[in-house]
Structure 1
Amino acid sequence: MKNIFLLLFACLAITIQAQKSTEFVEVTYELRMDMDAETVIQSIPQQYRAQVADQIRQELADGIKINYILKTNGQESTYEMVEKISNAQSPVGMITQQMMSQDKGVFYKDLKEGTFLKPYDIMGSKYLVKDKLPEYTWEITRENEEIAGFTTRKAMGQYNDTISARAWFAPKITIKDGPDRTWGLPGLILKAEFNTNGVDISVTALSVAVKNEEIKITKPAGGKQLSQEAFEKEMLEIQKKIQEMMGGGVDTE
């Protein structure tokens, strides 16, 4: 009888271990941004507005779209912009070019520690931002939506008491990860929506590949290490110097 119990215990342990086996997932997302063209134009120094106003209006009318790839094993992940543009795609607009130039480099998450790393190369100077991931307060709703072949549940979230988010996660993919800084739901986030500073942002999965073979996660390194707040302060100082060189900065008239 004792041997039978030992055998049952061993079988149970193997089953539990199999259920906890690591999933490796690769997701392609499309980021879309909507913003008011006239507000964007007014933020440009007056001497340049006439040259770029029509281009900006057309680009925003067409819609800003950038693809990203998330690679995750449930413990750590990378999220990186897809830079390659095929000949079949339309030329990249001015705003999209600016966004892509500023968002080069992988965004790395350590889900166990709740931290992230993000490298930047600004005017020849390298930075490595290291900080805590946002602590979302999520409320799961009863709403469902099919995304990239998976049934997802909608959740409402908030962090810093100021920024609200909507997310759709796939319970069948038991990884508490998602695009960019989103995470913390009981399933992989396949869609997220935000509104910040008058800009509507949505990130939606186009394809999901669950793999058996290991996905190698490379942790970024090198550069001047700063917190997010310290990095933003340094960037403001650089922006101020550039505006002074351009002759007084932004003209709001």
Structure 2
Amino acid sequence: MKSLVTYLFIFFSVACFAQKDFYGKAVYQSKTSFDLEQWNNREMSEQQKKRIMERMKNMLEKKYVLQFNKSASIYKEEEKLEAPGRGGGFRFGGFSAELQYKSITDKKFLEEREFFGKKFLIEDTSEMPQWEMTGETKQIGNYVCYKATMLKKTDEFDWQNMRRRGRGRGRNRDGGKEEKKKDTANVKKVTEDIEMPKEVLVTAWYTPQIPVSNGPGEYWGLPGLILEINSGKTTILCTQIVLNPKERIEIEAPTKGDKVSRDEYNKIVKKKMEEMRDMWRGRRGRNSRR
């Protein structure tokens, strides 16, 4: 009975807006957890760890704006000025999109990225995401949200889910180190030193009160705007919504950059990473012989 009420509510919410010229803006806060111990090769003091994590904050905590209508959207990181003395933070150029465009009607996706000073326009097409509805609900702000889940294949350079190979160590009850067993069938190799899971569980919370099949980043395909995403180590939460603002929002596909497919772009990045790794090893080798 509960499921029937849920789907009737979704149906009538979408129907109410079907004839409207509907558009709006949603602000999202993204936060990614990071295990410094896994990537560290030396012992550090708590003060050193705190200083490094503070420098990484601009990479791990970001603010995005989604501008949307019924058929398309633009998702872009909100630009912010660094406070005096706070510059020099870590940045992963090339691993994060500067701008993402989604056309729901023709399932076309475009991403603007800059890698080593060169602009790229990555073009993708996608099938309808295979969400599983759970019937669970919760309140986010003024909106009733419904839960949906799916298993998502990771992109080769999804840095949020990367980890060092052979560094999955934990602590046993006696305080000693123990190696965590890995299911290698579910892990893929990115480089000789880095790996990631082939799939991650994604949990979405969407609201039929805003009947657009859209959401932050690459997420879409539900009968309502997605207000929260939990994927691997990352949580994306909507903090503000403005519907039908007085100033009309125009959604246009980006055009800047060399147009490439996802596979082509990943090959470019992988080749450059391997070049940088070989260059770094060569320098270390020369320094050790001095």
Task: Give 2:251's aligned amino acid.
Answer: I
Match of 2:208 among 160, 166, 171: 171
The 3-state SS of whatever aligns with 2:281 is coil
Q: Equivalent residue for 2:236?
A: 203
Measure, in 2, the Cα distance between the counterparts of 1:131 and 1:53.
41
- Between the aligned residues of both structures, percent identity stands at 22
Q: Displacement of 1:126 after TM fit? A: 1.7
1:141 paired with 2:134, answer yes
Q: Displacement of 1:223 after TM fit? A: 2.1
Task: Give 1:204's aligned amino acid.
Answer: L
Q: Equivalent residue for 1:39?
A: 38
Q: Equivalent residue for 1:6?
A: none
2:23 and 2:68 in contact (8 A); partners too: yes
Measure, in 1, the Cα distance between the counterparts of 2:145 and 2:48.
40
Q: Equivalent residue for 1:125?
A: 118
Q: Equivalent residue for 1:4?
A: none
Task: Give 1:94's aligned amino acid.
Answer: G
Residues 67-86 of structure 1 correspond to what in structure 2 (within 5 A)? 67-85=63-81
1:229 paired with 2:263, answer yes
1:28 and 1:206 in contact (8 A); partners too: yes
Residues 47-196 of structure 1 correspond to what in structure 2 (within 5 A)? 54=49, 55-57=51-53, 64-85=60-81, 87=83, 91=86, 94-95=89-90, 98-99=91-92, 103=96, 105-133=98-126, 135-160=128-153, 162-195=199-232
1:126 and 1:222 in contact (8 A); partners too: yes
How many residue pairs match? The answer is 223
Q: Equivalent residue for 1:8?
A: none
2:59 and 2:92 in contact (8 A); partners too: no
Gaps of 5+ in 2: 1-14, 154-197, 286-290
Q: Equivalent residue for 1:30?
A: 29
Measure, in 1, the Cα distance between the counterparts of 2:280 and 2:112.
27
1:118-144: per-residue Cα shift (whole Å, max 9, x none)? 112222222110012364211112221
Q: Equivalent residue for 2:9?
A: none
Measure, in 1, the Cα distance between the counterparts of 2:136 and 2:87.
36
1:79 and 1:179 in contact (8 A); partners too: yes
Q: Displacement of 1:86 after TM fit? A: 6.8
The 3-state SS of whatever aligns with 1:232 is helix
Q: Displacement of 1:22 after TM fit? A: 2.4
Using structure 1 for the length normalisation, give the TM-score. 0.76
Gaps of 5+ in 1: 1-15
Alpha carbons of structure 1 residues 62 and 125: separation in structure 2 relative to 1, 3 Å = closer
Measure, in 1, the Cα distance between the counterparts of 2:283 and 2:129.
36
Using structure 2 for the length normalisation, give the TM-score. 0.67
